[in-house]
């Protein structure tokens, strides 16, 4: 059991299962006991520690030792649920996170950490054998390393996260040529611990980037001297220019090719509308690793509204390939109230037919597939292999629904073409997290 007297509040109730007959799980009040020797027993209240979420015992031990060498106490969790509970209880100054965890995807864990006001400010560095860098960085990870990792890289990652957690003043570069819009962004994003540097041209932005290191950059695409995309290209070409996380904030509708090109450089793209200030505030506070509880009450309300809306699901079409009527009902009852449109296929063959019907139709295009594995006529493995064999579907996000969270099942799903996986009985929060991670933006 975790030691008493840490001073941290217990974690909120665990998310309910999406299987209609399953009872709700009890609240997670404490992190699970460590199976790898760590420092939780001797950790004083408010003690500074690093949390390692890694199921490989040998590598977790290496990460623990590096954390200790760098002067931190270390807590080790080998499952995603245990890592989330430990993060809520011990409030570490930094988290080292693996992607391939036995109970859930590390990307889902990252999303849950960043949607919780109590943990979203904690810097997370991902260390994994799989390369999901773009997805992790878009969800707010501070860095990404693909195994094998050098000792010096781990030390540098910890020092970078420590500096981020200790930093009191953050600086945002806003590139916007409309004076009224720039002033609105100053009012929205500025705070006692956040300085706003506003410039009205790409040339001025390059000068500012050469003289100062910014924590985040908000960029309009329509600038007087060059386009925002051209500015990003110049930033990438110049070694002397620091490249902060970039949020594109534009009033112009983007084509698919233009959006894909921008995503090479930017962490987020927001189209200006009535709800966009809330989304922008949410993204900026995420990349600044701001502690939400320290923000003014009106901004806390804006952040809650931005998260509650789950705008990324509004109007999106999800294909659910599933033959169990209880799971169809459970998933539909979770996703449809959030604005998603659900199309049902009872086996892999029907899933392929549904995708074929959606081709060429902007109204009926499928944005994401939830693929059950065990289905009659054509199972999920065969269906995913067929999907990936078609060039037009190779980038279509697929989340596999597996019967059990076994390493072999996970590896088979990924080999067949799944982007990620989730085990049954389906957990609502985990499912929503993975959909948010993989839904095209």
End-to-end CA distance of the chain: 41
Do residues 148 and 131 make contact, with C-beta atoms less than 8 angstroms apart? no
pLDDT digits (tens, 9 = 90+) for 200-215: 999 999 999 988 889 9
At residue 97, does pLDDT exceed 80? yes
Q: Mean pLDDT over residues 52-75, rounded?
A: 95
Length of the chain: 441
pLDDT of residue 122: 93
At residue 404, does pLDDT exceed 80? no
| Domains along the sequence of the chain with CATH | 49-166 (3.40.50.2300), 170-309 (3.40.50.2300), 312-438 (3.40.50.2300)
Mean pLDDT, the chain, integer: 85
At residue 326, does pLDDT exceed 80? yes
CA atoms within 13 A on the CB side of 50: 29
pLDDT of residue 49: 94
Q: Mean pLDDT over residues 61-71, rounded?
A: 95
Structure confidence at residue 347 as a pLDDT band (50, 70, 90)? very high
Q: Mean pLDDT over residues 401-405, rounded?
A: 76
Structure confidence at residue 309 as a pLDDT band (50, 70, 90)? low
pLDDT of residue 362: 64
pLDDT digits (tens, 9 = 90+) for 117-169: 999 999 999 999 989 998 898 888 999 999 999 999 999 999 988 887 776 78
Q: In this predicted model, which residue has the larger pLDDT, 208 or 6?
A: 208
Extract long-range pairs of 25-32: CB within 8 Å, 24+ residues apart: 28/81, 28/84, 28/85, 30/1, 30/2, 30/85, 30/89, 31/2, 31/75, 31/77, 31/82, 31/85, 31/86, 31/89, 31/90, 32/77, 32/79, 32/81, 32/82, 32/85
Q: Mean pLDDT over residues 190-203, rounded?
A: 91
Structure confidence at residue 256 as a pLDDT band (50, 70, 90)? confident
């Amino acid at each position: 059991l975790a030691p008493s007297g840490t001073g941290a509040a217990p974690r909120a109730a665990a998310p309910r299962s999406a299987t209609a007959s399953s009872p709700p799980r009890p609240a997670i009040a404490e992190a699970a006991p460590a199976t790898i020797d760590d420092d939780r027993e001797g950790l004083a209240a408010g003690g500074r520690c690093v949390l390692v979420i890694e199921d490989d015992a040998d590598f977790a031990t290496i990460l623990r030792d590096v954390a200790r060498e760098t002067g931190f106490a270390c807590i080790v969790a080998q499952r995603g649920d245990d890592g989330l509970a430990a993060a809520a209880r011990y409030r570490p100054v930094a988290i080292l996170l693996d992607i391939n965890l036995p109970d859930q995807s590390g990307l889902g864990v990252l999303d849950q950490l960043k949607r919780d006001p109590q943990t979203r400010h904690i810097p997370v560095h991902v260390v994994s054998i799989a390369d999901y860098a773009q997805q992790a960085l878009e969800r707010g990870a501070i860095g990404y390393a693909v195994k094998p990792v050098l000792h010096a890289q781990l030390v540098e990652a910890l020092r970078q996260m420590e500096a981020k957690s200790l930093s009191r003043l953050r600086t945002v570069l806003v590139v916007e040529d409309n004076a009224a819009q720039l002033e609105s962004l100053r009012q929205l994003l500025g705070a006692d611990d956040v300085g706003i540097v506003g410039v009205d041209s790409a040339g001025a932005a390059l000068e500012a980037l050469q003289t100062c290191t910014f924590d985040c950059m908000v960029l309009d695409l329509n600038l007087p001297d060059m386009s925002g995309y051209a500015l990003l290209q110049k930033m990438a070409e110049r070694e002397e220019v620091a490249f902060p996380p970039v949020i594109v904030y534009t009033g112009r509708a983007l084509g698919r090719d233009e959006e894909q090109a921008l995503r090479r450089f930017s962490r987020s793209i927001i189209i200006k509308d009535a709800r966009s200030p809330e989304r922008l505030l949410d993204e900026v506070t995420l990349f600044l690793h701001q502690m939400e509880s320290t923000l003014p009450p009106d901004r806390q309300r804006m952040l809650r509204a931005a998260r509650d809306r789950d705008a990324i699901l509004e109007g999106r079409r999800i294909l659910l390939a599933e033959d169990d009527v209880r799971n169809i009902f459970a998933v539909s009852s979770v996703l449809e109230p959030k604005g998603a449109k659900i199309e049902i296929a009872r086996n892999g063959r029907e899933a392929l037919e549904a995708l074929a019907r959606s081709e060429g139709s902007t109204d009926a295009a499928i944005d994401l597939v939830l693929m059950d594995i065990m289905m009659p006529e054509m199972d999920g493995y065969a269906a995913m292999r067929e999907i990936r064999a078609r060039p037009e579907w190779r980038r279509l996000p697929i989340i596999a629904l597996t019967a059990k969270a076994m390493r072999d099942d996970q590896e088979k799903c990924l080999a067949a073409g799944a982007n990620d996986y989730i085990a049954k009985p389906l957990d609502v929060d985990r499912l929503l997290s993975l959909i948010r991670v993989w839904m095209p933006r």
